[in-house]
Amino acid sequence: MQFEESNRLRPMAHAVIPGGAHTYAKGDDQFPEEAPGFIVRGEGCHVWDVDGNEFVEYGMGLRAVSLGHGYAPVVAAAAAEMRNGLNFTRPAALELTAAEKLRRTLGQDDRMVKFAKNGSDVTSAAVKLARAATGRDLVAICGDHPFFSTDDWFIGTTGMPGGIPQAVRELTVKYRYNDLASVEALIAAHPGRIACLVQEVETTEPPAPGFLAGLRALCDAHGIVLIFDEIITGFRWHVRGASHVYGVRADLTSYGKALGNGFAVAALVGKPELMELGGLRTDRERVFLLSTTYGADTHTLAAAMAVLEAYEREPVIEHLHRQGRRLAEGVRQAAQAHGIAEFFGVAGRDSNLIYVTKDAEGERSQAFRTLFLQELIRRGVIAPSFVMSYSHTDADVDRTVEAVDGALAVYAKALSDGVEGHLVGRPVKPVFRPYV
């Protein structure tokens, strides 16, 4: 497999775009040196790079594409609406239609909806509402969850806090997932100061029995706003989200990614008494909530409605989980066959799997992660994680398991004689790091 055109374009991209990509997770430092640098086309779960190489893809646009690239009904809905114009001086009638449809799909007819373009904006808007409603300044986040927003209140807590004042960093505190005692201790340490708790419902580890209900009870008892980030879990765990699966409702919930099947749309859904602080029917001090030029452009909302209709019409959720289980079983069997199950494995919800790479000492290893990625790519699979889509067929999964089997054969050799002899170039690096 050749990457001549990708290699030609890379230095040009770095000369024009900081980091060579507009999204850190898509950057060169996140992939092996022998990897496609630029994608030109996608269809279903297959993509083609600038060199003409074809791959089965599992990143699926950082989990945003749940139906498949170029999914015809979604593209057709967006294209049809584009012919009517995208953006007007007053709200489009479609804004109301889309908001009502989202509420019905989520089974939350008692909530209000505000659309935006990305998950960071709607989650940060939830934090702002919580601070305004409570008059408190501290934000408590689950420290075991990887990402909530590009805004200062979150990025200041990461390993890449440059440019964020220390005073701002100190306004966010952390608790542990599945550890109610850590939440209680945080509340006790900051009495009357915590405005909200922010967390995903579930990542790779399911909520322990009573944990989410315990969070709900603590928030109610202490006047804290509970915020669920369902940017990933919404429309992937269940059409009504992971909170529906576990039967606990937050006060404010952010949705995105799969909602648009790649189109830039996100939504904040919440209690009217909170959401109205950013509206025109409140006697309290108003909150500048979400107000962006492109926040509700018509073709994007049409795409989102077509996505919701696809979920109503097709067994999307069932397919995501079924194919994810098939893939997970195949991967585990391959690891067992090569005798390396203690060094390589998959974790998480079947529809949203990640893989864990360990070195010969049993420690998490970026070098072995890079090697596995490298060997998958050589076999025609791009998989920074194993994120399933509705377009992944049995044949795609079987091809992937075969590629995994070949990659793990190399992995097993590297465990015995050293990864350096098998890896081309440098290992990948974490996104959140202070220096290059």
CA dihedral (229, 280, 116, 351) in degrees, to 10, reads: 30
Residue 100 to residue 27: CA distance in whole angstroms: 37
How many CB atoms within 10 Å of residue 259?
25
Across all residues in the chain, what is the average pLDDT? 97
Predicted confidence at residue 99, as pLDDT, reads 98
Confidence of residue 5 (pLDDT cuts 50, 70, 90): very high
pLDDT at residue 139, rounded to an integer: 98
Q: Which helix (H) or strand (E) holds 55?
A: strand 54-57
What is the reported pLDDT for 2? 95
pLDDT (mean) for 295-299:
96
Residue 170, pLDDT score:
98
Confidence of residue 180 (pLDDT cuts 50, 70, 90): very high
Distances (CA, A) of 422 to 237, 337, 413, 415: 37, 20, 9, 10
pTM: 0.97
Tell me the average pLDDT across 129-147.
98
Instruction: For residue range 105-116, list pLDDT tens digits in order.
Output: 999 999 999 999
Would you tell me which CATH number, out of the four given (3.90.1720.10, 1.20.120.1200, 3.50.50.60, 3.90.1150.10), belongs to the domain 4-70+315-421?
3.90.1150.10
- For domain 87-296, the CATH architecture is 3-Layer(aba) Sandwich (3.40)
- Rounded Cα gap, residues 109 and 1, in angstroms: 52
Residues of the chain with CATH 3.40.640.10: 87-296
Please tell me the distance from the alpha carbon of residue 332 to that of residue 111, in angstroms, as a whole number. Answer: 42
Where is 108: in which H helix or E strand? Answer: none
User: CA 369 to CA 378: how far, in whole Å?
Assistant: 14
Q: Is 160 helix (H, G, I), strand (E, B) or coil?
A: coil
Cα 348 versus chain centre, distance:
13
Condensed to tens digits (0 to 9), the pLDDT of residues 183-221 reads 999 999 999 999 999 999 999 999 999 999 999 999 999
Q: pLDDT tens across 139-158, in order? A: 999 999 999 999 999 999 99
Assign residue 336 a region: left if phi > 0, alpha if psi is -120 to 50, beta otherwise?
A: alpha
pLDDT tens by residue, 60-93: 999 999 999 999 999 999 999 999 999 999 999 9
Give SS3 for 120: helix
Bridge partners, 270 (sequence order): 112, 252
Which residues of the chain are in CATH 3.90.1150.10 domains? 4-70+315-421
Distance in Å from the first CA to the final CA of the chain: 28
Q: Which residue has the tokens 């992939």?
A: 31
**Secondary-structure percent of the chain, ordered helix, strand, coil, rounded to 5:** 45, 15, 40
> pLDDT confidence of 222, banded at 50, 70, 90?
very high
